[in-house]
Amino acid sequence: GRGARTTNMHPEVSGWLLVAFSFSVFALMFVMLVVKLIAPTGISLLDTLRADDYYYLLVPLTVPVLVISVYLNWVSMKFYQHN
């Protein structure tokens, strides 16, 4: 239709981008949690993450907040639709 949004990206490309993004987020969370358990490495990025006391908890604790927000949004939508 006239108002339909079109995209030039092929589904295969967008699928691979989604897989790459998901893998990178998982790898970042894994590194942020595991780096606390290893000895200093001499790699400045890993040693900086190891010395951090805030951001390594921020990423994993964002997931429950996101789930709660999505659930509350869904409940609000249902109340609005059936009222």
Q: Is the pLDDT of residue 64 over 60?
A: yes
* Nearest to 40, CA basis, from 53, 31, 27, 49: 49
0.75 cut: is pTM over it? Answer: no
Residue 28: which residues within 8 A CB-CB, separation 6 or more? 59
**Interacting residues of 55 by C-beta distance below 8 A, sequence separation 6+:** 32, 49
Q: Is the pLDDT of residue 3 over 60?
A: no
Q: What is the pLDDT of residues 45-63, one digit of tens each?
A: 888 888 888 877 887 788 8
pLDDT of res. 7: 62
